[in-house]
Amino acid sequence: MASKILLSLAIFAAACSSIALASDPSPLQDFCVADTENPVKVNGFVCKDPMQVNADDFFASGLQTPAEIKKDVGSGVKPINVNNLHGLNTLGISMVRIDFVPQGINAPHTHPRATEILTLLEGTLLVGFVSSNQDGNRLFSKVLYKGDVFVFPEGMVHFQQNVGYENAVAIAALSSQNPGVITIGDTVFGSEPAISIDILAKAFQTHAHIIAAIQAKF
C-alpha cells in the first residue's frame, strides 16, 4: 500500500511539474530586464544588472501609429514583446496592435506559447479559432464590434478578417513574453527545404500540380 501511495505521489508531482513548466518562468525577483547582449543562452534572457536598469527598460512607444499593411493579406501586426521591450523578460505577457484594411485578414495561425485576448478598437471583425483533432476540429467564430473582446486559447489555429467597410484596429494581449507565431500557409507551403509535394497532395487530397502552384506563391 505504501509503495502505491508513493508511486501515486510521484506521478502527481511529475504532472504538476509539467504543468508548471508549460508557461513562461515566474520571476524570482522584482524584475529581470533582458540583457540581449549577453552571450549566455538560457530559456529566455539573462538578467541585466539591476543597478543598470532604468525606466526606459520598461517603456515602449509606437502603438499609436498603424502597423505596416502587407498587401497580400490586407493586414499588419505591430508587436510589443521581450525583443523590443526588455523589461517584459520573465513577466509572461506581451501585446500587439493589428490593423486591417476592408476585407483584410490575419491569416490562420497559432501562438505555440500563449493564449491571446483581443479587443476591437475600431471597425468590424470576423474572428474564430478551431479546436484540436480530439475535440473534432470545431470552429468557434464570432463577429466583433467596437469594444468587443474575444479569446483564442493557447495553441489553437485562429484568424481574423475585417468584414466592415472601414479600416479596423485591434489590440491583443498574449500570455507570454515571446508567444511565437506559426502562420499555417507559410509553414506548410513555404518551408525551407519544401515539404514533399507528394506528402502535401495526399494530406490535402488534391493533385500534385495544384500543390506545386501553391508552393510557388510562398
**Binding site, annotated residues for oxalate:** 106, 111, 116
Query: CA-CA distance, 88 to 33, in Å (whole number)?
Result: 7
Binding-site residues, in ranges, read 106, 109, 111, 116, 158
* 183: helix, strand or coil: strand
Three-state SS string over 25-49 comes to: CCCCCCCCCECCCCCCCECECCECC
The edge-to-edge listing of strands for the beta sheet with 105-110 is 139-144, 125-130, 157-162, 105-110, 182-183
Binding residues for Mn(2+): 109, 111, 116, 158
* Distance in angstroms (rounded) separating the CA atoms of residues 88 and 82: 5
Kind plus residue range of the DSSP H or E element containing 169: strand 168-174
**Cα–Cα dist 109/156, whole Å:** 8
Residues 164 and 102 sit within 8 Å (Cβ to Cβ) = yes
Exposure of 131 in the CB half-sphere (CA atoms within 13 A)? 7
